[in-house]
Structure formats: C-alpha cells, structure tokens
Structure 1
Amino acid sequence: MSETTRLARFVPYLLSITSNAVSERIAREYHSRFGLKIAEWRIMAVLGDTGEATQRELTELTVMDKVAVNRAVKALAERGLVDRAPNRSDGRSHMLELTATGRELHDEILPLALGLEERMLDGLDGPEREALVSALAKIREAATG
C-alpha cells in the first residue's frame, strides 16, 4: 500500500489490520500446538489472571461478542479445561474457572505466548514498548468511554 493513501495513516484501520495480523499469527500457533481457537485462549488467559469470572465479565474483559464467549466457554468446558459453578451471589449466572487441567495448559501456553509477544515486539526498545502500551490503553479508553 502506498504511503500516500488515506488508509496508510488512518489509525482505526491500522489498529484493525494489526490486530488481525497478530491474532492470526497467535491463532495458528495455539491451534497447531494446543487445538485452541483464539477466543478460547483469550478466555483461558483472563481466567488465568482473574481466577474466576462470570460469562458477562468475560465478555467485558475480552471485548468479544457474547456469542463468541459462549461458544469458547462451551468448547473449553467440553474439553475439561473450564468448570462452571452456580454463582452464589446471583442465581442466574455461573462462575467459570479453569480446571486443574486447564490451569496446567494455561501454564504451558503462557511462556510461549510471552515468547511470541517478545518476537513481535523485538524491533521496539523499552521506551517504545511502554509508549505503545500506554497509547493503546488511551485509545481503548477513548473508544469505550
């Protein structure tokens, strides 16, 4: 694409295609090694950080469509990677949590995910990485706030 095109400097477009490229790269890796789709790994990653969450919380935290979250949770539960338990504070929802098998898989994948991130960010020095993380957080806040 020529640098003179409007899209070459249109930030929403750049964010979208960059996100798609990164997600596709990660998806290939996780699917070939672990049989996971990207949405499934996102759910596992969030549950690995939070310990447990409702499906609604997962939808908010991953910024994924609730149908995609539902499908991912169902697939993870069928594989024995996620457990569902009634939410004691809300009888209408369930708490989702990684099973022991899910935690083991999460702990196996996480170093690989971090290594993949390192390779993708290899061309950025420390301050550039911090600036990127900060800028992305600000853009997300502006988009959702």
Structure 2
Amino acid sequence: MEIPPDAIHTPRPTVIDSEEFTPRLLSLLSNSLVWRESRALHKHFGLGTNDWRVISAIGIRPGVTASEISEFVAMNKAIVSKSVGVLTERRLIVQVEDTGRSRHLFLTAAGAEMHDAMLPISMRGQDIILADLSAEEVSQLNLLLRRLLAHVRELQAEDDPEEPDAGSA
C-alpha cells in the first residue's frame, strides 16, 4: 500500500480513550441491542425496530399523534411517518382524523396482538442490560439515565436554532 505524502499515518497525540469514553460505550450498547432486536423482529414479524417503537408508543398512549410519537421516542418524523404507513397498510393501526390536521393513532385488535407478540423481544434487551445488576443498581442506573436525559434535553433546548434567543427582543 502506498500512502500519499500528505496523509497523516500516525495517531493524533490527543485522542479519545475509546474504552473510557462514555458516549461511545452507551452508543455501542444501544447499537448492539437495537441490532439484536431488529433482526429478531424482522425474522418473526417482518417489521423493524422503528415499527415496534411506533406500536409500543401507541400501546402506551392510545390516540397519540405521529408528532407526539416522534417526540416520545426521539425519532425523526419522516421515519415515524413511514412506520405509520407500513402499520396502517398491514392493518395493525388505524388513524382517526381530528377536526384539525392531527390524526390520532390506535392499535387494531391485530395490532394489539402484534404488540404483545413483539414485547418479549424488546424486553429481552432490558434483561441483557440488567442481568448482572442488583435491584439497587438498577434503580440507581435508571435514576442516572433519567437525570442525564433531562440534562441533554435542557442543552438541546438551549442550542435549538429555531428557538428565539433569550437575549434578543
């Protein structure tokens, strides 16, 4: 292999310690769990993780809108819309139009059955994460994660370019 003369071929003197960089570790864990879940959902039901997230959100909050699902599960609205289309086509959900532009989403009987069949695959991810933790550690972990999520949302609100700057009037 011939390395071009302007290519830097030595590691940078200051880099992220990949074994101690928490965002990387969280991402690797999440990606591994989502990949496992996605493979199982496709194999057994012909649906993916995004479809499951929409079904699950509707199961938790019947009558939710696609925009509300997007916020609830932190998914792009276009991805939610695509899943809503797939799930509607498969008659797993129905859309009820409101007097406004909103469409409220509900599981059908087949959708409720699908939810219940898919649930154990998703719950297996939780089992994997919590397997070696005590009840106290699980409680502490969940508390820390909720606190971190709240902090991240605060930072995102501060950095949101669509929000007017508090200093401008």
What TM-score do you get using the length of structure 1 for normalisation?
0.88
What letter is aligned with 1:20?
N
Structure 1 gap segments, 5+ residues each: none
Partners of 1:136 and 1:13 in 2: CA distance: 15
What letter is aligned with 2:92?
L
What letter is aligned with 2:94?
D
Stretch moving more, 71-80 or 116-125? 116-125
What letter is aligned with 2:147?
K
Give 1:132 shift. Answer: 1.6
1:123 corresponds in structure 2 to: 132
CA contact (8 A) 2:93 2:105 kept: yes
Higher-Rg member (1/2): 2
Aligned residues: 140
Give 1:15 shift. Answer: 1.6
Q: Does 1:104 align with 2:104?
A: no
Partners of 1:53 and 1:87 in 2: CA distance: 11
Partners of 1:55 and 1:100 in 2: CA distance: 20
Partners of 2:69 and 2:26 in 1: CA distance: 22
Give 1:113 shift. Answer: 2.8
What letter is aligned with 1:131?
Q
Partners of 1:43 and 1:96 in 2: CA distance: 10
1:139 corresponds in structure 2 to: 148
Partners of 1:11 and 1:79 in 2: CA distance: 40
Give 1:11 shift. Answer: 1.6
CA contact (8 A) 2:67 2:77 kept: yes
1:7 corresponds in structure 2 to: 18
CA contact (8 A) 2:41 2:47 kept: yes
- After TM superposition, the structure 1 = structure 2 runs for residues 1-145 of structure 1, keeping only pairs within 5 Å, are 6-88=17-99, 91-145=100-154
Cα root mean square deviation, aligned: 1.7
Partners of 1:18 and 1:92 in 2: CA distance: 38
Deviations for 1:89-122, whole angstroms, at most 9, x for unmatched residues? xx11100111111011112222343244224421
Structure 2 gap segments, 5+ residues each: 1-14, 155-169
Deviations for 1:69-103, whole angstroms, at most 9, x for unmatched residues? 11111111111111011124xx1110011111101
Query: Percent identity among equivalent residues?
Result: 32
